Amino acid sequence: MMLDVVDQEEVATVPGETNIGHAKGTAPLPREFDITDMLPAVGKDGRPLKRFSSGLKYVLREDLAAVLHSDDHARILLIDMRRPYEFAGGHMRHAMNVDWRAENHERQMQTILHRCAAEMLVVYCEFGGKRSPQAATLAAKVFAAKRNDNLKGIRILLGGYSGFFSQYPEACIGDYIPE
């Protein structure tokens, strides 16, 4: 993992990977399908939510895998909230890493989110139960203050990386390293 300096702030990135369409100033992608239809919101129980639910919104791993296997993967920003050694051991393709337990995690998240031009933010941790819901809450506050017109939603990966990797290892780089 390397650090990019953006406006004098450190942002975690992965060597050799790019997040096409996520930086400001990039050309918008064709919008044949609404990203919220491609990544429908579900509750923590996995059942579909009403379109205008105000609670935390999750995404099923099969829906995320379908988008990651398509050209539409550039329309989402994936942020892995696990420890750096977990991320180095294995992560989803195109994901960025923010160590939720690091002292500067809020600053790292804010830096990434302020330059985000993606239509959907998906956060994940090992199981999807603590770090990623907290990160989704922080992201919602940052985006509310920023008034991002591109962002259509924030999702938490239901079941986290452990569940995703067990079903879709081809959409990941490396393996699964438990905390």
Q: Residue 116's pLDDT is what? A: 80
For residues 170 and 21, the model is more confident at 170
Residue 15 C-alpha from the chain's centroid? 18
Q: Residue 93's pLDDT is what? A: 94
Mean pLDDT of the chain: 81
Q: Residue 16's pLDDT is what? A: 38
Three-state DSSP class for residue 90: strand
For residues 50 and 44, the model is more confident at 44
pTM: 0.79
DSSP string, 28-64: PPP-SS-HHHHS--B-TTSPBPPTT--S--EE-HHHH
